[in-house]
Each structure stands twice: as structure tokens, then as C-alpha cells.
Structure 1
Amino acid sequence: MPDRSPKNNWYQDLNLEEKSKWYGQIANAYNKSRPRYPEKLVKRAIEIARLSTDAKIFEIGSATGTATTTFAELGFSLVCVEPNAAFYQILLRNCAPYEKVKIINTTFEEWELEKNQFDAVLAATSFHWISSEVACVKTAETLKTDGYLILLWNTPPQPTQEIYQKLLDPIYQTYAPDIKGYEAITTHQKNIRGLGNKVIDSGKFQNLVSEELICEVTYEVDDYIELLSTLSPYIAIDSEQRHTLFANLRITLHNYYGDTINLSYLSALQIAQKV
């Protein structure tokens, strides 16, 4: 799963209200620090889903618009649902330049279904948050005949395994031993592949296409710490514990790197056609 956690699918145990409020206190940090989706993958998604410029896209869980604005810039019409109130306000600002974007402050589960209305349903690192009994069924119902589900995934940017083991693992073991500060790319690939398989196993979709890229990015050390603050395992721990962990990570990274740090992350797309 893109957000690292020791328990798989733990987010499914949250009720709708808890899910809607989960990221509220870190919305500004999320907007600033989360990486965008590579243009190459976005264009491949459009190509595979055969989306013309007049296509209508429904987006599930837009957050602050990391993917929304990319599709809007290409001229697409989007209807977006975002349950988090803080995200919703930022999303409104980020999408203000785009007249063809409509934003609704609600969960996908509670959204009033519009059957057979959309050429594609888009979910950018959000599909796993939907109740499993709702996700594929309602998505298929809102799509036109032969419409497409487009899943985009960004895993958290992280330093190399060598740097993690050398510098950061001792800090995690001391201050937050339950958090996995590093996750192998192969683990992310396996988890994302499992999510795609669930879409096909639902019986509502077929012809799954998967592609991925390894992306290299450079962050200011302080921005990297801010990025970590937007990841669920860090949100879940006690605030004092989080503060101590971040303080020690920040000092160590500044001492070793100076002001900037090189990171990498896996970006992936999965596209399946409505049966």
C-alpha cells in the first residue's frame, strides 16, 4: 500500500467520518509536499482509456488536486468528490482556474449515484480508502458502457535503502519502532498489483493494464520531514512521539546532507475496462 503501515488494510476499519477527517490537520503540508503524477503516465492513461477532449471524468477522493489539476489542464471535464473539509477548501482554490471542474464535499459512498454518466472514473492514491463492498460496484455503475477505471498510485518518496539503514533506521528503532521508515520497491509493487487484482476479481472490470515508473526527486530536508507528516503511520502516533522522531531525523539528515536530500518513489497506473 502506498501509505506505509504495519497492518494491511487498516484504513478499512475506519468509519466514513473518521476517514473524512483523517488528513484534516496536515492538509496544507499535503498540498505542499506530495509529489505530482508523472505526465508520461497521465498521457498513457488518456491513451489507453481512449479519452477525447470532451470526455467526462469522475474523480474519487481528489485531496488537494494533485491529479485533478493535471487532467483539468488538458481540458477535461471533471466531477470530483472529496470528503475532507480542509482538503475541499484547498481543492477549490487549486481548481479555481478551471471552469470544467465541479467539486462536491462528500464521500464516494454517500455521493448520489449518477448511472452511466462518465467516460472514466479516476482515483489517484485514493481507491483503497473506499469501502470494499462499494468501490468496484458503484464505480462500474457510474461509468458509461465500456468506460474505464483509471487508478494512479504514488508511493512515498524515500532515500535509498543504504542511507536508511546507515542513518535513519537507528532513529526509528529508538523513537518509533512500529513505523517502517523504508519500504522496498518490490513490496510496493506487490501491494499495488494486489489492488489491481481486486478490481478484476470483482467481476465488474476486465483487461487490466499496468505500467509504472521510478521517479527521482530532490527535496529540502525540512520539506521531506513535512512530507512524512502527511503519511498515515505518522499521523497515527502520539504528537510528542512524532515531534521527537522528526526532530532527530531532521538533525541527522541536515548533518549528513546539508539542506537537500535525493529521494525516489514508484509511480504506477492501472486501467481496467467496465465489463
Structure 2
Amino acid sequence: MNNKQIFNYNVEVYDKARPQYPQELFKDILLYSAIGSQSKVLEIGIGTGQATKPFLNMGSIVTAIDIGDKLIDYVAEKYHSFNNFHAICDDFVKYDFNHSRFDLIICATAFHWLPKDLAYKKIMALLKPGGTAALFWNHPFPNRTTDVSNLVNQKVYEKYRPESKPPIEFSEADCSQRCEELVKYGFFDVQTKLYHRVRTLTSDEYISLIKTYSDHRKLPVNRQVEFENAMKEELDKIGGKINIYDTLDLYLGRR
């Protein structure tokens, strides 16, 4: 399966299983960028539009681009009532925006799929002077050794996915590289912020979430099924729930 198309399948499941972003994150983007009604916003890799609505609600003119045709069809329907929304099915680094310039460019848990050098340069070229780039990710961590549900998760991964690298929880120390990249490519007033939360999912909800992960989608189908069944069985033995410790990182820079 092509990496760029790996999320272009059951988009309804993806939209339901993937977590939303915290309102505090959007408030920080809006405060930094100072955009408002009629500001032009570009969203790279919109997916199912989980980071889109706050900008539509404030009246900004949002252009979204994604290479997945099913994803674009989904968000076009999802936000059909907004006349300030336009979706494009194409490759961001190849698409000709025809001299369009934007006040804000956002990319939510998708920038790592892009060729870094080309993506940074294109974002810089597409921003108006003083415009803002906002890159952010969610890093779920269900592997704390102090959490019984996380220990069960580790046990199943070790049995059915022994090739998986030992997970490391995202921390503030991991932010420096991204900040250095923004400075390297010409952005100034670079800022970063972390957000933390804990989500508790039922075993069925967790299986649905696992099904949206790119590394899981690449497994042979029979291996996926074995892994999912084992995970549900083991979690159900301890009450049918798992805690996920999320760290979200936001990076802001100006052109």
C-alpha cells in the first residue's frame, strides 16, 4: 500500500476513531496568527477534517488539500454547509496554487509524510509576509509501566508484533529538532508548546483506533486479525479498557 494512500480507505472509521485536538491548541494558533474572518487558511493533509472546523467557524476562507480522493470526498460532504471551504485532491508539493497566498498554513499530524525540504520551502513561498505556519502532532502513548492496561498492551505487542521498536514517550526534549528546522528554512519568532491529556478507551474503541495506524494497515490481513483479537481478549480480562497518554506538540513560525 502506497504510504500516501494508506489512510484513504474506510474514512468513517478513521474519523470516529482518531482523537480530536484540544481547544487550547487552536486558541494558541489563533492568538499567534491573529487571523480572523476572511483570512485565507491552507490546511495540508486534511484527512477527515479533525483540525478544520475552528477556522471555518470564525469565517476564515479555508482551502484544504489531500492526496486521498475518498478523504476529500468525505470532508467535502462533512463541511458542505460552509461556503468558506474548498477541498482539493492533489499532492501538496506538486500542486500549482496559481499565485495564491495564505495568512495561515496548518498541518495536523501529517507533515512527516511530506518531503521535508520541498514542503518547508513551499510553505514559505505560499505564506503572505508575516503569515503563520502551524505544524502540530498528537503522540499517543499506551505503554506506561505504571498502568496495568498499558502493560497488557505491551504484552500483546511483544507476542504478535515483536518487530515493533520499543516505544518511547514524547517529551519536551523532542521539540528542538522541529524548531531548528523552522529557523533553518527562514521562519522567525518560532514558538512551541506541549499539551497533555489522558484518554480512556474501551477495548473495541482501541481496536478501531489501531486499525487506523499506518504500520498496522501494512500487516498481512490474517496477522491484523490475530493481533486485534488477542488485544481485545487480553484487555477484556482486566475490565475492557485502556488508558492512552497523549502528548501534543505545536510549532509556530512566521514568514
Question: Could you tell me which residue of structure 1 aligns to residue 179 of structure 2?
Answer: 196
Q: Distance in 2 between matches of 1:144 and 1:215?
A: 34
The superposition leaves residues 140-186 of structure 1 with CA deviations (integer Å, 9 ceiling, x where unpaired) of 11111111101121123636433366322222111111224743133
Q: Distance in 2 between matches of 1:171 and 1:94?
A: 36
Q: Are 1:48 and 2:32 an aligned pair?
A: yes
1:61–1:80 contact (8 Å) kept in structure 2: yes
Q: Unmatched 5+ residue regions in structure 2?
A: none
Q: Structure 1 residues 266 and 167, CA, compared in 2 at 3 Å: closer, same or farther?
A: same
Q: Are 1:184 and 2:166 an aligned pair?
A: no
Q: Unmatched 5+ residue regions in structure 1?
A: 1-16
The superposition leaves residues 102-150 of structure 1 with CA deviations (integer Å, 9 ceiling, x where unpaired) of 0001110121134461101111111111112311111111111111101
SS in 2 for 1:153: strand
Cα distance, 1:38 vs structure 2:
0.6
2:109–2:137 contact (8 Å) kept in structure 1: yes
Question: Could you tell me which residue of structure 2 aligns to residue 228 of structure 1?
Answer: 210
Question: Could you tell me which residue of structure 1 aligns to residue 159 of structure 2?
Answer: 174
Q: Distance in 1 between matches of 2:150 and 2:32?
A: 39
Percent identity at matched positions?
21
Q: Distance in 2 between matches of 1:167 and 1:108?
A: 40
2:149–2:243 contact (8 Å) kept in structure 1: no
User: Is the deviation greater in 85-94 or in 244-253?
Assistant: 85-94
Instruction: Report matched runs for 1:105-254 at 5 Å.
Output: 105-115=89-99, 117-156=101-140, 158=142, 160-162=144-146, 163=148, 166-180=151-165, 182-186=167-171, 189-202=172-185, 204-254=186-236
Cα distance, 1:95 vs structure 2:
1.4
Instruction: Report matched runs for 1:33-112 at 5 Å.
Output: 33-112=17-96
Alignment coverage as a number of residue pairs: 254
SS in 1 for 2:163: coil
Counterpart of 1:255 (choices 229, 234, 237) is 237
- AA in 1 matched with 2:83: E
Q: Distance in 2 between matches of 1:181 and 1:95?
A: 39
Cα distance, 1:263 vs structure 2:
2.3
Q: Are 1:265 and 2:249 an aligned pair?
A: no
2:67–2:89 contact (8 Å) kept in structure 1: yes
SS in 2 for 1:167: helix
2:179–2:191 contact (8 Å) kept in structure 1: no
SS in 2 for 1:145: strand
Please give the TM-score of this superposition, normalised by the length of structure 1.
Answer: 0.85
Q: Distance in 2 between matches of 1:180 and 1:98?
A: 43
How much is the aligned-residue C-alpha RMSD, in angstroms?
Answer: 2.0
Question: Could you tell me which residue of structure 2 aligns to residue 6 of structure 1?
Answer: none
SS in 2 for 1:257: coil
Higher relative contact order (CA 8 A, sep 6+): 1
2:142–2:150 contact (8 Å) kept in structure 1: no
Runs ≥4 in structure 1, deviation > 4 angstroms?
Answer: 189-192
